[in-house]
Amino acid sequence: MKAVTRITFFNENQEKFFGEGPCRLLHAIEETGSLRSAALSMGMAYTKALKILNNAEHSLGFPLTCRAAGGKNGGGSLLTPQGKEWLKRYEQYRDACIHANEALYLEFFPEQQ
C-alpha cells in the first residue's frame, strides 16, 4: 500500500490547466527547442500539445513559451523567463507536497515502514 501525491492546478472555472503532463511537455520543449518535436517525443499530436500549452498560458495570464513559425529557416519554441520560473516553482511545490505526504503517510500508517 502507498499514498500517491498528484498536483494539479485548476482555473476559476474548475478546469484543469497544469499538472505533470504540461510539466513534461515544457521540459521536452526545453530539450528539443520545438513544440512539434516535444509533442512527438511524448507520442502526442501537435494540435493537442498546442491546446495544452495555450490553455495553461490563458489560465496563468502569461506566456510559457515564445514560438517562431517554421518555414525556410525553420521555427522553434523556447521557454520564456516566466515559463522557466513557473516550471521551477511548480516542481518545488510538487516535491514539497510529495515529501509532506510521505511523512504524513508514515505518521498515520506506521506499520507501512
Given a cut of 70, whether residue 18 has pLDDT beyond it is yes
Give residue 73's pLDDT. 64
- The pTM (predicted TM-score) of the whole model is 0.89
Amino acid of residue 82? Q
The one-letter amino acid code at 21 reads G
Question: What pLDDT shows up at residue 75?
Answer: 73
The Cα 95–Cα 71 span in angstroms is: 40
Q: Place 57 in a pLDDT band, splitting at 50, 70 and 90.
A: very high
Determine the average pLDDT of the residues in 33-54: 96
User: How far does CA 79 lie from the centroid of its chain?
Assistant: 12
Tens digit of pLDDT for each residue in 76-105? 899 999 999 999 999 999 999 999 999 999
Provide the grid cell at 82. 516566466
Question: How many angstroms separate the CA atoms of 106 and 30, rounded?
Answer: 36
Confidence bin at 3 (pLDDT 50/70/90): confident
Q: What's the mean per-residue pLDDT of the chain?
A: 93
**pLDDT of 26 strictly over 90:** yes
Q: What residues are paired with 66 via a beta bridge?
A: 78
Contacts of 56 (CB under 8 A, 6+ apart): 17, 18, 22, 64
Separation in Å, CA 34 to CA 2, 5, 59 = 37, 30, 22
Q: Which three cell numbers stand for residue 69?
A: 513559425
